[in-house]
Every structure is written in C-alpha cells, then in structure tokens.
C-alpha cells in the first residue's frame, strides 16, 4: 500500500520533538513502517493568501487570533487548490491519501483523485462549545461547511478520543461506521521499561509550553500551601513560558525548554507526581508520557484529558483554576504513597497498551487497507464494513 501523507505547514507542525509537531512526526514514522509513505506533503499558500487570512481574522483583544486564522475559509480553499494540483502530478504513485488535521482538503474538487482518511485530535465544533475564545464568529459558518463536506467525503475519519469521534458523528454528520477512535501516542523513540519508584521525595513535575494556557499559575498558588504540609516538597517546571515571566516561588525550579531527551528522561524518573492543571487540552500527550514513567497524573476536566487520565485509577482530575482542589489532591497523594504506586503501575499499563504510536497504527491498519482498496467513497452514507 502506497500512502501520500498530508499535513498543515504552520510552525507547530514542523517541530519533531514536542506538541502536535512531535506527535505528527512519530505517527508518520510508525505509519512508514507498515506501508510505503510516498511523501509527507505540507501545502504552503502564497504570502498574500496568508496575509489576507490573518487580516480577515484579526480581532482586537483576542490573543488566539493567530491560532484561528488557520480556519479561515480563504486559506482553507487556497491550501486545497495547491494540494490538488500537487496530488494530480503524483496521481499514479499512491493508493491512499492520509491527512493529519483538517485545516484544508486534499482537493477543492470532489471526489478526490484517491480515497483519503483524516486524523484529528479536536474539531472546530468542539471549540465552539468548550473553547469559544479559539473561534472567530465571522468565519465560523464557512469553515464548518468546508470541514463538513471534507469529513463526509472521507473514507474514514480517525479520532484521538471518543469525544472527537462523537463530534464527527453528531456535529458533522459522519456515518458512525466511518468514525473510528484510535487514540494518540507517546512522543518518544522508545517506551521506558517498568521501574521501581519509592514515591517519597514529594517531587512534582510540570511539562507544558505556554504556562498561562497550561495553568502553571494554579500550581504556583498551591505550592506554598503544599510546602506547609510537606517542607521537602519541590516542583520542576519544564516548557516555554511564551511571554509570561515567572515569579520566584520557594522550591520551584524553572528549567525552560529542555531539548535533551536524556535530561527529560532523568526529570521524569526523579519525579513522584505529574501535575498539569491545564485550561485547554485537546488530548494530552504529555499525560500519557508521564504515565509511561509510572507517574500518577493530576489534570483538569477539560478537552480530552478525562479520557487519558482515569480519575481515581491512574490519577486525579479537578476543575480548571481550582487551587483548593489541587492542594487537596496533591496532599492526599503525598500522604498515601501506596496509592501513588498503584496509580503509577496502572498508568504504565494503560500507556503501553493504549498510548503508543505502534498501538495507534495497529488499530488504524485494517481500515487503511480497506480504504485503499474500496472505491465507492463518493456518498456520505456508503457503508464500510469494520
């Protein structure tokens, strides 16, 4: 099976280490082991198209407009045209198109020249309900129409979580047989072996870029209270603050961006507990990564986090911005190292059985082969056996 890979060309999709770019890198690396990956193409629109979409989506006071501009209809169509022209030049060289995210279509003229599948960690309709500040109202109707048509024309649409799958079905009218949850993977070259942890150092680890979005201030407010109960408690903060200067807090160490994989490995192994009181999270690769190091996880009831952390089993969940509840959760776990160990063990089991890119592609593979061989893809209600 020969696959043409597609992905957006924004900066966040070009990194090969963290975030969505890291996830994309590891996914296509694994996919390339199962099939012939002809190319990973990222359509790059002309500067004028990008500038027009940026200006059209700009809103005074909206800090998320640079994220939202990707959903502008003009940019969507421009990328789709560029993509179609590129694919037409390679029309005889692949059996299936596989696209990461849905900010453009493989074509602007349906049906496409080959069956295609999509893989998303979130949807624009979910943004409207859960993170409305990510949505520009004046462009919402057009992008919803473009993405709906694109999803309905796909052979299969894969989801990082069941929440995304249900959004495909109920928000975009995708036939349930075409929507498949396959989860997401850990952005590591290898999953660490199970290790013995004592869970007695009271060492908290936080990993996340954009400290404001990831709720670091919630953890910083909790730390002085935690220190009163556990004088030896400390927190290590990893990530890019993105313009947010960090105040000095006793026993809190800021590492900034850590590029070294060996250093990150050491930080995970030294910690007892992973805490990320994030305000927004479409999936939460970093929680799965922490679970691979047998760390109990504390996260928030937002986005896809509740499907990654099993509340009470592999970690604990809290409401966003709830400092008091965060203190209670951390205190409870520090007081019960035996429970931390059980959570760590169960988290590790879940991580290696569910959240590796090998397992993700294992779940996808039969659908990909079927999509590549089955040609009747031009109607939204065409049933595909599973």
Q: Is the preceding peptide bond at 237 cis, omega within 30 degrees of 0?
A: no
- Number of CB atoms found within 10 A of residue 307's CB: 16
- Token pair 């776990």 in the structure block, residue: 333
Q: Determine the number of helices (DSSP H) and then strands (DSSP E) in the chain.
A: 14, 12
Helix (H, G, I), strand (E, B) or coil at 7: strand
Question: pLDDT (tens digit, 0 to 9) for every residue of the chain, 386 residues total?
Answer: 899 999 987 766 666 555 667 889 999 999 999 999 999 999 988 877 777 676 666 666 666 666 667 777 888 999 999 999 999 987 668 899 999 999 999 999 988 889 999 999 999 999 999 988 777 777 788 889 999 999 999 999 999 999 999 999 999 999 999 999 999 999 988 889 998 888 999 999 999 988 888 999 999 999 999 999 999 999 999 988 877 777 888 899 999 889 889 999 999 999 999 999 999 999 999 999 999 999 999 999 999 999 999 999 999 999 999 999 999 999 999 999 999 999 999 999 999 999 999 999 999 999 999 999 864 344 444 433 33
User: Structure tokens of 138?
Assistant: 């004046």
Q: What's the CA gap between 59 and 61, in Å, rounded?
A: 6
Q: What is the pTM of this model?
A: 0.90
Q: What's the CA gap between 97 and 75, in Å, rounded?
A: 20
């Amino acid at each position: 099976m020969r696959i043409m890979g597609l992905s957006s060309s924004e900066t966040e999709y070009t990194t090969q280490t963290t975030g969505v770019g890291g996830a994309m890198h590891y996914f296509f690396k694994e996919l390339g082991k199962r099939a012939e990956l002809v190319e990973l193409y990222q359509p790059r629109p002309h500067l004028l198209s990008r500038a027009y979409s940026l200006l059209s989506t700009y809103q005074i006071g909206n800090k998320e407009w640079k994220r939202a501009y990707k959903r502008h209809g003009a940019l969507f169509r421009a990328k789709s045209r560029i993509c179609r022209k590129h694919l037409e030049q390679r029309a005889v060289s692949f059996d299936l198109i596989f696209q990461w995210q849905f900010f453009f279509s493989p074509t602007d003229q349906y049906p496409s020249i080959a069956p295609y599948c999509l893989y998303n960690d979130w949807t624009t309709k979910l943004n409207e309900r859960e993170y409305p500040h990510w949505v520009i109202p004046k462009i919402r109707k057009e992008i919803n129409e473009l993405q709906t048509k694109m999803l309905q024309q796909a052979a299969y649409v894969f989801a990082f979580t069941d929440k995304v799958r249900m959004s495909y079905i109920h928000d975009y009218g995708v036939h349930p047989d075409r929507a498949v949850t396959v989860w997401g993977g850990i952005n590591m070259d290898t999953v660490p072996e199970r290790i013995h942890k004592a869970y007695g150092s009271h060492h908290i680890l936080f990993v996340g870029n954009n400290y404001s979005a990831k709720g670091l201030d919630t953890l910083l407010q909790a730390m002085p209270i935690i220190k009163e109960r556990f004088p030896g408690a400390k927190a290590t903060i990893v990530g890019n603050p993105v313009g947010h200067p960090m105040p000095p807090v006793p026993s809190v160490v800021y590492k900034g961006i850590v590029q070294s994989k060996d250093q990150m490995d050491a930080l995970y192994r030294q910690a007892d507990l992973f805490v990320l009181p994030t305000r927004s999270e479409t999936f939460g690769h970093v929680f799965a990564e922490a679970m691979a190091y047998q760390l109990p996880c504390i996260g928030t009831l937002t986005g896809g986090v509740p499907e990654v952390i099993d509340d009470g089993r592999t970690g604990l969940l809290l409401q966003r911005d709830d400092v008091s509840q965060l203190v209670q959760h951390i205190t409870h776990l520090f007081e019960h190292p035996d429970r931390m160990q059980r959570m760590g063990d169960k988290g590790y089991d879940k991580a290696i059985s569910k959240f590796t890119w090998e397992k993700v592609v294992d779940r996808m593979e039969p659908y990909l082969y079927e999509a590549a061989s089955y040609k009747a893809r031009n109607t939204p209600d065409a049933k595909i056996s599973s």
